[in-house]
């Protein structure tokens, strides 16, 4: 349950960030914050992926 909510929150960050990309100019502070959000989302997705892989959740889903 916790990992599902972390994954959904991370995907929400990515979707909102992609929607905000159209209105932000490169080099502004908002652009830097948005890139940091994408980096955080990438780290969260990688963490969730590693936990799913180590706990065996992915092998159950692929069978």
Percentages (nearest 5) of helix, strand, coil residues in the chain: 85, 0, 15
- Two tokens, residue 47: 């963490």
pLDDT of residue 51: 84
| pLDDT tens column, 16-39 | 877 777 777 888 888 888 888 888
Give yes or no for a contact between 1 and 9, defined as CB atoms under 8 angstroms apart: no
| pTM metric for this prediction | 0.61
The yes-or-no verdict on residue 59 having pLDDT over 70 is no
Domains of the chain, by residue range, sit at: 2-62
pLDDT of residue 61: 52
Nearest to 41 by CA among 61, 11, 16: 11
Quote the mean pLDDT of the chain: 78
């Amino acid at each position: 349950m916790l990992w599902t909510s972390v994954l959904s929150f991370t995907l929400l960050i990515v979707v909102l960030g992609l929607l905000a990309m159209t209105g932000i100019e490169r080099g502004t502070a908002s652009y830097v914050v948005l890139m940091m959000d994408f980096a955080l989302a990438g780290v969260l997705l990688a963490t969730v992926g590693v936990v799913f892989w180590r706990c065996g959740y992915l092998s159950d889903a692929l069978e």
